[in-house]
Chain A
Amino acid sequence: MEIIKSGKENNALVVKVSGRMDAVTAPEFEKTVNSWIDEGEKCFVVDLSSLEYISSAGLRSILVIAKKLKAINGKILLAAMEESVNEVFEISGFNSIIPIHDTVNAAILKA
């Protein structure tokens, strides 16, 4: 898994996560985003167009971050998921608790 900051738009930090978010790599996602929250970031747009795989450990990390941001009036928006990742969100009902947008630009507009 790779996680990179690609810039700030409309007050949201846009980050791109690629590769696999599994039980081994998900804690790293959580840790990295937490460090940005500690630096004062409150709104994140996550570009998932290059994320190939997510397991419940990845969903768990996203939920932990979403809960934390909600408590400080922040938010996390996900964008551009590929089909198999989207399927995992749908099966688990996460598509109804985390905002998901078709494109990064659409997510930025809602940030």
Chain B
Amino acid sequence: MSSMKLPAKMENMELLIQFISDKAGKLGFSGKRVKEIELAAEEALVNIIHYAYPDLQGDIVVSCMQHPSNQFVIDIEDTGIAFNMLSLKDPDISASISDREIGGLGVFLIRKLMDDVHYHRDNEKNVLRLIVHMPQPEKTGKT
């Protein structure tokens, strides 16, 4: 497992995303899948940066691991206020331009793009876990 810990600030977002996408790239995910992982990571990080530490400064810890059950697991932790972003309700994606609400899409995209996503509160920490199935090796040879 490898981790990166940085203060929860917008200027650190790109470094944290780059850390995750480097790991994903090395594990053989396609360019398209790496972008989807980056997108889910950005949406999670932006939420934490905006909401986890309203009054004080704090850190975000990102950990990446390859799980034996063929999963790439990304844990994103903060020690801010208890908040399960997965409890947010999905936006109405069929609303017209006038009724369409601004915002609320980030968590929806995380759910759509990741194979699985969980939240738990652990010892004063918020832990958001993004799970991506490992790429299947390409079949070689012809029948």
Residues of A within 8 A of B (CB): 22-24, 52-53, 55-57, 59-60, 63-64, 66-67, 70, 83-84, 88, 91-93, 96-98
Offer 7 A-B interface pairs, CB within 8 angstroms, sorted by A.
A55-B46, A60-B105, A84-B32, A91-B112, A92-B109, A93-B93, A97-B96
How many angstroms from the CA of A57 to the CA of B39 in the assembled complex? 10
Which chain B residues (74-131) contact chain A, with CB distance < 8 Å? 93-98, 100, 102-103, 105-106, 108-109, 112-113
How many angstroms from the CA of A84 to the CA of B97 in the assembled complex? 23
Pairwise interchain contact B46-A84, C-beta atoms closer than 8 A: no
* Contact of A96 with B42 at beta-carbon distance under 8 Å, contacts A64-B102, A84-B32, A84-B35 already known: no
Pairwise interchain contact B32-A83, C-beta atoms closer than 8 A: yes
Task: State how many angstroms separate the Cβ of A85 from the closest Cβ of chain B.
Answer: 9
Pairwise interchain contact A67-B97, C-beta atoms closer than 8 A: yes
- Among candidates B42, B98, B102, B103, residue contacting A70 with C-beta atoms closer than 8 Å: B98
Across the interface, which residues of B come within 8 angstroms of A91, CB to CB? 109, 112-113
Task: State how many angstroms separate the Cβ of B49 from the closest Cβ of chain A.
Answer: 8
Across the interface, which residues of B come within 8 angstroms of A24, CB to CB? 10, 13-14
B59 within 8 A of A: no
Main secondary structure of the interface of A (DSSP, over half): helix
Across the interface, which residues of B come within 8 angstroms of A97, CB to CB? 95-97, 100
How many angstroms from the CA of A37 to the CA of B17 in the assembled complex? 33
Pairwise interchain contact A88-B100, C-beta atoms closer than 8 A: no
Residues of B within 8 A of A (CB): 10, 13-14, 32, 35-36, 38-39, 42-43, 46, 93-98, 100, 102-103, 105-106, 108-109, 112-113
Pairwise interchain contact A56-B10, C-beta atoms closer than 8 A: no
Quick one: which of B32, B46, B94 has the most chain A CB within 10 A?
A: B46
Task: State how many angstroms separate the Cβ of A41 from the closest Cβ of chain B.
Answer: 19
Pairwise interchain contact A63-B10, C-beta atoms closer than 8 A: no
Pairwise interchain contact A53-B38, C-beta atoms closer than 8 A: yes
Across the interface, which residues of A come within 8 angstroms of B10, CB to CB? 23-24
Across the interface, which residues of A come within 8 angstroms of B95, CB to CB? 93, 97
Closest partner residue, chain A, to B111 (CB atom): A91
Pairwise interchain contact B46-A57, C-beta atoms closer than 8 A: yes
Closest partner residue, chain B, to A59 (CB atom): B105
Quick one: which of B35, B108, B109 has the most chain A CB within 10 A?
A: B35
